[in-house]
């Protein structure tokens, strides 16, 4: 059987820390996910994360302030609707992950597992960070899988990445108290200059390493930018007992 990833693609992921797959998810599946997201946003269906609660720079001051009920993400996407679960378990996704991990795959339900929404006006920018800062595993070798449900570029607040940064040694002085790269650090300024946008269209899927530094700007378009994202690890890489990473459980997957 022909494997979905070539040797070149695997080497590219190991070198750059990310891969983009164009038109991986059919338009009809994306439209269904968008429709469900819009319905659940309108109903404020929990669990939710509000921009005002997260409190990044530029967020509404409180839930009662203008824009205070702006949703940043719909949590627990896996259990929200079958359309999200089907993407999380998609054979194309799992087969690629099996190649990259070199072993069977687990979907972690504690991390990501979200529909990300970036709204005009009140959707905040996100500084340079690594996803592994949130997570507790034996190894930091995890992969995030990000599906664009519409156009993602600089104008809509799309992702930027620093290629190869998952292999870099970062000193504590380069990070703030939340493990974001500090803008006032001279070494970080050199890193920021290496950042490139990852432009995506509806149905495109981005795989990126949990140590890869990435950021995102504000959404200056009139439309809500919507993405679905899940986090995966190899079966031998177990979450640390007693941590949030272990608390929500995981799903064993096979291609």
Q: Is 1 domain-assigned? A: no
Question: What residue numbers bound the domain in which 82 lies?
Answer: 7-253
Q: Is 52 domain-assigned? A: yes
Q: Is 190 domain-assigned? A: yes
- Reply yes or no on whether the pLDDT at 2 is more than 70: no
Range in 4-8, 107-111, 133-137, 209-213 with the lowest mean pLDDT: 133-137
CATH number at residue 207: 2.60.120.620
- In the three-class reduction of DSSP (H, G, I as helix; E, B as strand; rest coil), residue 186 is classed as helix
Total domains, the chain:
1
**For residue 238, how many other CB atoms are within 10 A of its CB?**
15
Total count of residues recorded for the chain? 255
Tens-digit pLDDT profile for residues 178-219: 999 999 999 999 999 999 999 999 999 999 999 999 999 999
Mean pLDDT within 75-88: 98
At residue 103's C-alpha, the angle toward residues 100 and 108, to 5°, is 80
Q: Is 139 domain-assigned? A: yes
The model's pTM: 0.95
Kindly give the interhelix angle for 91-101 and 7-16, rounded to the nearest 10 degrees.
70
């Amino acid at each position: 059987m022909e494997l979905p990833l070539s040797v070149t693609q695997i080497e590219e992921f190991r070198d750059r820390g990310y891969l983009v797959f164009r038109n991986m998810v059919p338009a009809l599946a994306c439209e269904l996910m968008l429709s469900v997201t819009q319905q659940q946003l309108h109903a404020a269906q929990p669990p939710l994360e509000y921009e005002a609660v997260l409190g990044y720079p530029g967020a509404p001051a409180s839930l009662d302030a203008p824009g205070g009920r702006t949703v940043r993400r719909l949590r627990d996407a896996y259990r929200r609707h079958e359309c999200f679960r089907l993407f999380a378990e998609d054979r194309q996704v799992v087969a690629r992950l099996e190649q990259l991990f070199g072993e069977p795959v687990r979907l972690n339900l504690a991390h990501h597992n979200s529909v990300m929404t970036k709204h005009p006006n009140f959707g905040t920018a996100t500084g340079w960070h690594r996803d592994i800062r949130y997570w507790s595993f034996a190894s930091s070798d995890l992969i995030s899988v990000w599906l664009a449900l519409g156009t993602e570029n600089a104008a809509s607040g799309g992702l930027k990445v620093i290629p190869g940064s998952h292999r870099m040694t970062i000193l504590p002085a380069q990070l703030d108290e939340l493990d974001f790269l500090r803008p006032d650090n001279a070494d970080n300024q050199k890193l920021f200059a290496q950042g490139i946008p990852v432009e995506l269209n509806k149905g495109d899927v981005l795989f990126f390493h949990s140590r890869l530094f990435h950021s995102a700007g504000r959404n200056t378009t009139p439309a809500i930018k919507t993405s679905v994202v899940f986090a995966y690890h190899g079966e031998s890489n177990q979450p640390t007992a007693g941590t949030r990473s272990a608390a929500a459980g995981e799903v064993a997957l096979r291609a």
